[in-house]
Chain A
């Protein structure tokens, strides 16, 4: 199967600081990527997506960067808030298949 790995299983940041969550993917054919947020006891929530013809995409307080050369994806959260505490997953989508990373647990320290 595919391998979508996260560099850090846990991340703690101070409220107001920026957070960076990283993800490595393995399939060069992956042309679509999604970041999800999952709060405790809830289903995953779509945050932002990016296609392989882009290297950066911005949303509200979030930016996704894609480096196809090294098969690396990152999610940047600006001015992290307590409500951002959750597990974050990246997913790579080669064709119509979805492969998820194990997740990074983000804790925001007030």
Chain B
């Protein structure tokens, strides 16, 4: 158990819908990262927050957004969902802005 929690574990929704994925980092970790893992694209970095502020942006679509709250938990919002958004979404946390990251168990999103 990495200490990073993600909810929900599984999510099934229809195209065009909007979902919110939630992540609680390890106690004391200030950074949260979001990743997407799909069979055809592999593991892709989406976005990183550090102590509430966006620190780095990767291949995150405009339909997606994220935020980190004062209690350091983070949410990833996915809207206007398409079939291709079906993937595993991982959250990771680290103490600082870089270094060892601890991954959560992931949320499996299925868009039908």
Contacts and interface: CB of A to CB of B under 8 A. Distances in A.
B57 to A, nearest CB: 8
B103 A32 contact: no
A32 B101 CA distance: 13
A44 B105 contact: no
A89 B43 contact: yes
Interface stretch (A16-24, A65-73, A76-84, A97-105): A97-105
Q: Is the interface of A mostly helix, strand, loop or mixed?
A: loop
B42 interface: yes
Contacts of B103: 43-46
Contacts of A89: 43
A98 B98 contact: no
Given A99-B45, A100-B43, A100-B44, A43 B56 contact: no
B45 A98 contact: yes
Nearest to A1: B59
Contacts of B55: 96
Contacts of B59: 1
A100 B43 CA distance: 6
Interface string B77-103: 000000000000010100001111111
Interface of B: 2, 4, 33, 35, 42-45, 48, 55-56, 58-59, 90, 92, 97-106
* Among all A-B residue pairs, the 3 with the closest Cβ atoms: A43-B103, A96-B56, A98-B45
14 contacts: A43-B2, A43-B90, A43-B104, A43-B106, A45-B103, A49-B100, A96-B97, A98-B33, A99-B45, A100-B42, A100-B43, A100-B44, A100-B45, A103-B42
